């Protein structure tokens, strides 16, 4: 299932004070299995608007996407939309497929580097995986996001699902994807990090 949600008329000319935010993610950001308009990206737009922060947000997230998929379309998105802030929420599907950490790290680094070169500020969204993947892989996966963020002077959301991952009431029937109840907390996890960037 592929989904991409545009929250604003991105092609319209923005004022100099408008923060243009590009979200490149997977099912956690594409409103997989939940009603349209209830996902954390849409809630982020609403929260920033309530705070009187003018933003355009393009949600270019695709359910099932990996970091390799993100790399193949990332430069085109930058060239087309010229965002001032880029939120990279990818990597979870790499782990589910057992892909090498070096490959995931390289892809995240490539996207962060391209975004920085375009003049955008970068937010890396961290993920964590269950311990059944093995301690070395689990720890390496968790630490990878911080490593990439530091390498590219990017902001870091330590764990998108902080406050929801361990509670079944926040999960869909597959016990994997967050439901609508989880979205406000996910939004707050990102909002805390992105607010200083869009207020500049």
The residues annotated as belonging to the active site are 27, 174, 177
Cα 194 to Cα 7, 97, 102, 191, distances in angstroms: 17, 29, 27, 5
Residue partners of 90: CB distance under 8 A and separation at least 6: 24, 25, 26, 65, 66, 67, 70, 107, 108, 111
DSSP for 129-187 reads --GGG-HHHHHHHHHHHHHHHHHTT-EEES-TTTTTTT-GGGB-TTSSSB-GGGHHHHH
Q: How far apart are CA 194 and CA 200, in angstroms?
A: 10
Q: How far apart are CA 86 and CA 4, in angstroms?
A: 16
Burial of 137 (0-12, 13-18, 19+ CB in 10 A): middle
> Residue 94: CA atoms inside 13 Å, Cβ hemisphere, count?
30
Q: Which two tokens stand for residue 155?
A: 């902001």
């Amino acid at each position: 299932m592929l989904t991409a949600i545009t929250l604003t008329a991105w092609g319209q000319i923005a004022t100099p004070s408008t923060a243009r935010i590009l979200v490149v993610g997977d099912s956690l950001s594409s409103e997989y299995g939940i009603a349209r308009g209830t996902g954390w990206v849409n809630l982020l737009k609403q929260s920033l608007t309530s705070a009187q922060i003018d933003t355009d947000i393009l949600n270019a997230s695709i359910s099932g996407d990996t970091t390799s998929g993100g790399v193949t379309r990332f430069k085109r998105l930058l060239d087309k939309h010229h965002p001032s802030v880029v939120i990279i929420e990818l990597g979870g599907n790499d782990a589910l497929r057992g892909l090498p950490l070096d490959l995931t790290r390289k892809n995240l680094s490539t996207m962060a580097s391209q975004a920085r070169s375009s003049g955008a500020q970068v937010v890396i969204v961290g993920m964590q995986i269950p311990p059944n993947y093995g301690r070395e892989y689990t720890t390496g996966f968790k630490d990878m996001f911080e490593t990439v963020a530091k390498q590219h002077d990017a902001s870091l959301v330590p764990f998108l699902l902080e406050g929801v991952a361990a509670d079944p009431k926040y999960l869909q029937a597959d016990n994997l994807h967050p439901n609508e109840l989880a979205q406000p907390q996910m939004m707050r996890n990102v909002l805390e990090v992105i607010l200083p960037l869009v207020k500049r």
